[in-house]
Structure 1
Amino acid sequence: MTVHLHDGGHFGWGEWAEMLSSELHRPERKADGSDYFDAWVAALTALLITKGFADAETVLALQQSWQRAAEATPHGRPILLENDPARTHHGGYCIIP
């Protein structure tokens, strides 16, 4: 998603680097870097909110939907939002223009 947003001209790599660096240097981050993925997700979430693509509530709802979809997907199968048992058939999520 990060590359897709960049390729779409929604931000530059310098802006992304600042956002990620800021997140990686937060005092609560693990010194061994084992929470790098969490930092990446937090930076991307902050970027989505800062750029106005989504509000925090929408991002959280999407994260929860992906988690439910992952839990409902048999091992070895692709995880799709459609697999979220709580997702409505007529509603969806779209946060990237």
Structure 2
Amino acid sequence: MSGIPLSPGMPRDADGPVFNAPWEAQAFAMTLALHERGLFTWPEWAEALAVQIAAAQAAGDPDTGDTYYRHWLAALEGLVARKGASSGDELARYRHAWEHAAGRTPHGQPIELRGEDFPG
């Protein structure tokens, strides 16, 4: 995985990042794509992630590694909103729609967002 910046604390093995679930890999890929498109620099990303993790630890996160990508996603959402690529309200709208769609999707099937997943 040469050329891909790795963040401190990122779960990894000799080959690079390790993901426990598909959504973790997707969050990682989204972050790289937004960075490569110039939405933020890698130092900006590293700072956003460090602040998110520090806040979680201050709030009692046990730092066992199983919450790393939850912090990753929260940091990404915050950075995207701060950069003006989306608003916090819009992110919350899509988060709600995703949760609604996930609730109606049988286990093992791809989740599809539909119009009815978004609040009226």
TM-score by length of 2: 0.64
Name the % identity: 36
Q: 1:58 is paired with a residue of what secondary structure?
A: helix
2:86, 2:60 → 1: CA distance?
25
Report the equivalent of 1:91. Answer: none
Letter in 1 for 2:70: D
Aligned equivalents of 1:81 and 1:46: distance in 2?
A: 22
CA contact (8 A) 2:97 2:113 kept: yes
Aligned twin of 1:52: 84
Unaligned runs of 5+ in 2: 1-29
**Structure 1 segments unaligned to the other structure (5+ residues):** 89-97
Q: How does 1:1-97 map to 2 (within 5 A)?
A: 1-26=30-55, 27-31=58-62, 32-82=64-114, 85-87=116-118
Q: Aligned partners of 2:32 and 2:60: how far apart in 1?
A: 24
Answer yes or no: is the 8 Å Cα contact 1:29–1:35 preserved in 2.
Answer: no
Q: Is the 8 A contact 1:23 1:43 kept in 2?
A: yes
The count of aligned residue pairs is 87
The CA distance in 1 between the partners of 2:110 and 2:60, in whole Å, is: 30
CA distance in 1, matches of 2:93, 2:60: 24
Equivalents in 2 of 1:71, 1:29: separation in Å?
Answer: 29
Structure 1, 59-68 or 29-38: larger mean CA deviation? 29-38
Query: Separation in 1 of the partners of 2:65 and 2:107?
Result: 28
Contact 1:49–1:55 under 8 Å retained in 2: yes
Within 2, Cα distance between the matches of 1:77 and 1:61? 22
